[in-house]
Each structure stands twice: as C-alpha cells, then as structure tokens.
Structure 1
Amino acid sequence: MSASTSSESAQAFYGRWARLYDLIARRTPGIPHLRKRAATACRLETGDTVVEMGCGTGANLPSLRERVGPEGTVIGIDFTRPVLERARESTSEYDNVHVARGDATQSPFDAVAGDADIDALLATFVVGMLDDPAGAVDDWCDLVGPDGHVVLANAARSDAWYAPPINAVFRAIVVLSTPPTTKLLYEDEPHLRLDRKIDAAHRRLRERSAAIADETHVFGVVRVTGGRLE
C-alpha cells in the first residue's frame, strides 16, 4: 500500500468514526479531567498562543481558550476533514480559536498564526500515529523554542501491579482503533508498536526540557509529560 493510499484509508477510517470518537473524547469517565490536567500543564497565560496537534473533534480547544482568554490565540491542527468539521462546530462561538487541516509534522501555522510566537504546544493521543514520533517532538520543540512548553498525553500499557486485565482491555481497544480492524494476527502487535512510539516521544521531550512534570491517569494507562524547553 502506498503512502497516499494509507493516508486516504486512515482519513476514511477516522472520518467514519468521528461522531463516536467525539463522544468518547468528551464523556469517557476520567478523560475530561485528564484533558484539563494536560491543558494546565501547558502553563498558559492570558494572551498566549497555543497550538494543539491532532486536535480531533476539538475536545481540548475550549479549555485552552479559557486559559489564554479572548486576547490569546488557539490553533487546532488535524488531518481528517470530518473530524475537523466537528471541531469547527464546537468552537464556532470563539473568534480566536482557529482550526486548520494539516498533519502533525507539516502544519499550516503561518496561514493562521502569522508571525506570532507560539508559547505552548499540546499533543494528546497523537504520537502513536506518527512514523517518527521522536523526530516530531524535536520539530515541536523547535517550533515553540526556549522557555515555552510542550505537553504530551498518550495511552500505553500500564505498569501498575493490577495491570494485566487492564492491559488486555487496552490491547483490544488499540486493535479496534487501528485501521484496518479486520486483522486477527499481526507481525508487529499494534499495542507493542504503540508502546515503543510513546516511550520514544516522551523520552525525547524529557531530553529537550529544562523542567519536567510526569503524571499517570486512568489506571496508569495514560501518561502526561509536560516540559519547559531549554
């Protein structure tokens, strides 16, 4: 399968399930609190500019806007059109929240932010979809620059003592949310591949940061790492 065909397949898959993902993103117990913690970790102030990579249906955007106020700017980036439409609908009341189509490594910042400095960047449940998550984190850190903040929130297998049944459920969720969902056997198990990508991304953010905050949520499955860049 070519890269373009793979991209089209992923867009069709995530677009088809946009409504369900929106419900999960906003209503799953524990997830709204997690999103607030991730937004808090961005250390935003009134008037700041914040970018969310992979904004999805826009569940984080109102919370980010609340922190930067009407004087700030919120930019949401995603590559799936049906998902972006839901994000636009959910933020239509705000004139300083902008949603643009792009992927996590080549995003149209200039068209939205102009020459504005970016004070923080948030990426929730994104790095597992990237071929080179550590490289993407490097790009995001370079975009934000010294003293800015980059925050990652991702789901991976839990290390807690009660992890085995939770990890079994997690594996099933990963398989069902990874297109195509009809495969039963994999040469490289999706949940193990996801673990490696998330470990690489969070490790790189720690390496690039002068100050680091780490948290775990949802039975140890969700990891949040916030870094103030050097």
Structure 2
Amino acid sequence: MDSLRSTLEARMEPEDAQAFYGRWARLYDVIARRTPGIPALRRRAAAACQLESGDTVVEMGCGTGANLPYLREQVGPEGTVIGIDFTGPVLTRARALTSEYDNVHVVRGDATRPPLEGIDDEASVDAVLATFVVGMLADPADAVDDWCELVDPEGHVVLANAARSEAWYAPPVNAVFRAIVVLSTPPTTKLRYENEPHLQLDEKIDAAHARLRERAVAVADETHVFGVVRLTGGRLEAS
C-alpha cells in the first residue's frame, strides 16, 4: 500500500478556487456532517456503490472526508478507499478523520484528471462516488464519461448532487437553496448575476445525471432532503 500511496500523491494540481474553499473548510466540515438528513444520505450513497469486502472505491471531490468512513465500512479492512480533492485545508481534515485506517488514502488532485496512473499495479476500480462535486466542473457530462471508463465492467458510478427541488412545496425550499448557492459561489459579494449560479448548477447536475443514466444500468434514482438532493447510481455493463 505504501507504493500505491506514493504513486497517487505524485500529482498535485493547484486550482484558483483553493483559497476560497480552504477558508471555508471548517464551516463546510460542520455542514457536511451535521446537516439533518445528510449523514443518512452519505450512508445511502455508499451503499449504492454496491461494494464488497476487498473492493477498491474512488471518491472524486472527497472534501473533508465525510463519505470516507462509510466507504471504508463497505470495503472492510481488506479493501481500498481513495479520496481525491484539490483543496489542501479540506484534505488535512480528511486525513485526520481517516488516520486510523491504513487502507484509506487521501490524495490531492483534480477529479477530472485523477492521479491514478499506478492503480492498475495494485487493484482495479470497482466503484466511483462523487457527491456535491459535478456542479464545480466545466463539463460534468464529460467527467462522468471519464469516471465510467475508469470503473471495471460490472462496477458502479454513483452521483449525489444538490439542485432545485421539484416537489410541491418547492418554492420556499428553492429560495433557501438559491441563497446557499450564491453564498458558496466565489466571489460571495455579488448580489446580481448575468447568469444565475443556481440555474447554471441545475444545468450541470441535469447533464451529469442524464449522462450516467445513458451509460449505466440504474441501481438508484432517488431524491432526498426535501427533494433538493438527487442520487443516481448505475452499474456499468460489460462490453
């Protein structure tokens, strides 16, 4: 495992948004773990990966590591969990959270170009999980294609993302959602946008989840947290 860790940590990609998300790492960590309904969602997302003991799972955009313990539960001590994120301060928290596990590796890198060149030397990838990350990508559908190619045949890709609710009680929920999106989109001082960030986010989420439905056989297609969070999981078919 030491050779795997060395290979994975070899690539590091700086991003302009690192400073912004780094400043908010502590608050994000609290939100990621304590928001009502979110811990249950994370457990459900890990279960949708349909992992078995000894499997290898990669989380794209692992943030402060809130999903990593759930994934480790699924693969057991014989499996491998790899979390990838580009922001140093959030990765520090992720490493602290998982320090007791020698089979959980937290790596700094770009989710669209994950630093996994050496993975084939150790294990195949049985599942990819990405929660609340595709909205930050320039081309989320293309990223989903790449993640599907990374996973072995019969493996799984699971997405969970926040977008506007379509439930009957949606208007007040969506008003709160828009405010959260604006406050979490750098710079946060803008009050007016030529292109509303919550609408752009909706488009990206729709594109990513639609692409996964095209590429995989559905194992989960659900909404959570007042209809705001969409969970889509798919099994890749053998060619």
Normalising by structure 1, report the TM-score: 0.95
For structure 2, list consecutive stretches of 5 or more residues without a partner in the other structure.
1-13
Native 8 Å contact 1:206 1:212 kept in 2: no
Match of 1:3 in 2: none
Report the Cα distance in structure 2 between the residues aligned to 1:153 and 1:33, rounded to whole angstroms.
12
Residue among 210, 213, 224 paired with 1:217: 224
1:114/1:20 Cα in 2 relative to 1: closer, same or farther (>3 Å)?
farther
* 1:106 alignment partner AA: R
Q: Is the 8 A contact 2:48 2:219 kept in 1?
A: no
Q: Which runs of 5+ in 1 are unaligned?
A: 1-5
Q: Secondary structure at the match of 1:95?
A: coil
Q: Deviations over 1:178-224 (max 9, x none)?
A: 11101111111000000000000000000001234201000000000
Q: Partner of 1:62: helix, strand, or coil? A: helix
Q: Is the 8 A contact 2:57 2:80 kept in 1?
A: yes
1:208 pairs with 2:215: yes
Q: Would you say the 8 A contact 2:155–2:235 is kept in 1?
A: yes
| Equivalent position of 1:143 in the other structure | 150
Residue 61 of structure 2 is aligned to residue 54 of structure 1? yes
**Partners of 1:121 and 1:140 within 8 A in 2:** yes
* Conserved? CA contact 1:54–1:76, under 8 Å: yes
Q: Distance in 2 between matches of 1:211 and 1:110?
A: 28
Identity in percent: 80
Q: Distance in 1 between matches of 2:94 and 2:223?
A: 26
| Equivalent of 1:182 in 185, 189, 192 | 189
In the aligned structure 2, how far is the partner of 1:16 from the partner of 1:125? 18
Report Cα offsets for 1:146-187 as digits up to 9, x if no partner.
210000000000000100000000000000001110111111
Write the distance in 1 (CA, Å) between the matches of 2:218 and 2:207.
Answer: 18
Q: C-alpha distance in 2, partners of 1:203/1:155? A: 15
Q: Which residue of 1 aligns with 2:132?
A: 125
Match of 2:168, SS?
A: coil
For 1:18, give the aligned amino acid.
A
Cα drift, residue 109 of structure 1 = 1.4
Post-superposition shift, 1:114?
3.6
Specify which of 69, 76, 83 is matched with residue 83 of structure 2.
76
Does the CA contact (< 8 Å) of 1:149 and 1:226 recur in 2? Answer: yes
Q: 1:23 aligns with which of 16, 27, 30?
A: 30
Q: RMSD between aligned alpha carbons?
A: 1.2
Q: Which residue of 2 aligns with 1:7?
A: 15
Aligned to 2:41: 34
CA distance in 2, matches of 1:19, 1:143: 31
Residue 71 of structure 1: SS of its match in structure 2?
coil
CA displacement, residues 119-150 of structure 1 (integer Å, 9 cap, x when unaligned): 00000000000000000000000000321000
Q: Is the 8 A contact 1:75 1:112 kept in 2?
A: no
Which of 53, 57, 65 is equivalent to 2:72? 65
SS in 2 for 1:7: coil
- Secondary structure at the residue paired with 2:102? coil
